[in-house]
Structure 1
């Protein structure tokens, strides 16, 4: 029997109107309860340090007038998300379980077809749908690859905010040195510095073969101990440090400062795992060094709001992440989370 069968045909089969009405109501209820708006699947941390579990998650309320309900298409898993999942990131401290460690992602308005980048911490995104404040959404071309944007977001944001908000005077017509240029963030930083008009972009890394493949660099310097920084590079204006530790000190000692400008050192990561930056007092006496960091604590909400449209536009311009991406269905989150492939590629979950 099909839903379109007329009542007269059903009566001939001995089926009453009451039975038909009961079946119709049951079908409607069944369809109602299986609506993706009311019953969702998502990924949640149930034990700190363990991979997320794929499970049923709480129903979404009706979006408020200031919100949009989006179908989540892609959510990236950068180091910050892994830190939140382990309970080691400040934004995850004292949070109850189960916990959604997601940061940002891409979603589509199923009514209009519009595609949006969803700002950092705007909503839990390890789920099929999300209600997001309209002020935290940035529209992108509907043909943009959601996976690419999700994979680019955190790394692009890191260098964009550092160069636009922390570097005094920006990087236009200046020399930018990237310590840790072969990291995902370093590779994005090279492209961002180009977009923002840097005169010269220098990359530093321990592996010369990998460094040779990083796009957007004018000069490449192998990180050795002691560091030999070529004088031919000339004065350095901005250092973006994704490594930290002794390598940063050696670079500050070796780099030539512009006689009429500060040598701006911006700590943006800590791949080396060093908690402290032991700077000799004499070093900051003999060179005009300005020491800063770039992160959620050192950036104001006003700065982030002001810069996000430009940062999203930069992601769209970059188009293809300068590193490998592993796109996996969210239902496979437990098996891919700590997989060998996810250790060498940027993981993106697809709800």
Structure 2
């Protein structure tokens, strides 16, 4: 069986054309062909051994997260939930409870490409924001031009936000983001213009000094709290230096969202709605699909920088 894996931390994956075949699936499993599995930043972090979910991993290592598979016996396609199977392979045995059936005709590459970025904002707004607080909320998405940021616009609208403001560093790419009710340039230091009006929820994919600027200058409606949800660090700053007086001076609720901030029960509860949202979305323009054989060569190539890499082990795109 053809597979790929990490054989040395910090090095590109290695392709193996003669990996051992799989054992027969148990009664609780299905044997499936892997159609698509995305390689977002979290998978690259796992491939380096730096992500919390890869702690204690041994080599060779499959850092895949989730993906789309095909049961050839039935013709059904399934989404495989995070960390349920090793998907850098032609075939997998998947526990039935970890496989969520997808609608007929869905694009497996689109589902693979969108599930992680959509999931980052879906889980943040459904599991880390206060219950029922997104409906009618005014949401600021920081880092809105990233794939996850653009997905957050779609998710916030889907969950009933009344207005969505996008913030990013480049006006040209900011202007290309659809679905926004307002646009703000991220400056350093960052000051949220007064004309933006009150904000209820900040969904932050940037972090660092920009986060402090947003928390310090966002208008807050009287009698309400400003919810800040940290999701990513596109600024490349590992720390958010939060002045203690800021917590005392403003009604702010601060939390984070990620694989360690919510549990399997919450994923199980939300996966249906998340996939329903994803299934309505078209494939992102910046997707690059590669087979197992091609993965080592493109891993660090210029071709995939700034793109969303999707591995298609059994499908030639």
What TM-score results when the alignment is normalised by the length of structure 1? 0.86
The residue aligned with 1:44 is: 5
Aligned residue runs from structure 1 range 289-328, under 5 A: 289-321=252-284, 323-328=285-290
Secondary structure of the residue aligned to 2:100 is: strand
Question: CA shift at 1:227, angstroms?
Answer: 2.4
Taking the aligned partners of 1:303 and 1:123, their CA distance within structure 2 comes to 19
Give the structure with the higher percent helix.
1
Question: CA shift at 1:287, angstroms?
Answer: 0.9
Aligned residue runs from structure 1 range 153-168, under 5 A: 153-168=115-130
Taking the aligned partners of 1:215 and 1:120, their CA distance within structure 2 comes to 29
The residue aligned with 2:225 is: 262
Aligned residue runs from structure 1 range 28-67, under 5 A: 40-55=1-16, 56-67=18-29
Instruction: Specify every segment of 5 or more residues in structure 2 that has no aligned partner in the other structure, as ranges.
Output: none
The residue aligned with 2:34 is: 72
Question: CA shift at 1:129, angstroms?
Answer: 0.7
C-alpha contact (below 8 Å) 1:160/1:311 kept by paired residues: yes
The residue aligned with 2:244 is: 281
C-alpha contact (below 8 Å) 2:113/2:283 kept by paired residues: no
Taking the aligned partners of 2:21 and 2:58, their CA distance within structure 1 comes to 18
Instruction: Specify every segment of 5 or more residues in structure 1 that has no aligned partner in the other structure, as ranges.
Output: 1-39
Taking the aligned partners of 1:142 and 1:326, their CA distance within structure 2 comes to 23
Higher relative contact order (CA 8 A, sep 6+): 2
State which structure, 1 or 2, has the greater radius of gyration over its C-alpha atoms.
1
Tell me, yes or no, if structure 1 residue 119 matches structure 2 residue 81: yes
What TM-score results when the alignment is normalised by the length of structure 2? 0.95
CA RMSD of the aligned region, Å? 1.1
Question: CA shift at 1:60, angstroms?
Answer: 1.2
The residue aligned with 2:91 is: 129
The residue aligned with 2:49 is: 87
Taking the aligned partners of 2:191 and 2:202, their CA distance within structure 1 comes to 16
Extract structure 1 runs of 4+ deviating beyond 4 A.
Answer: none
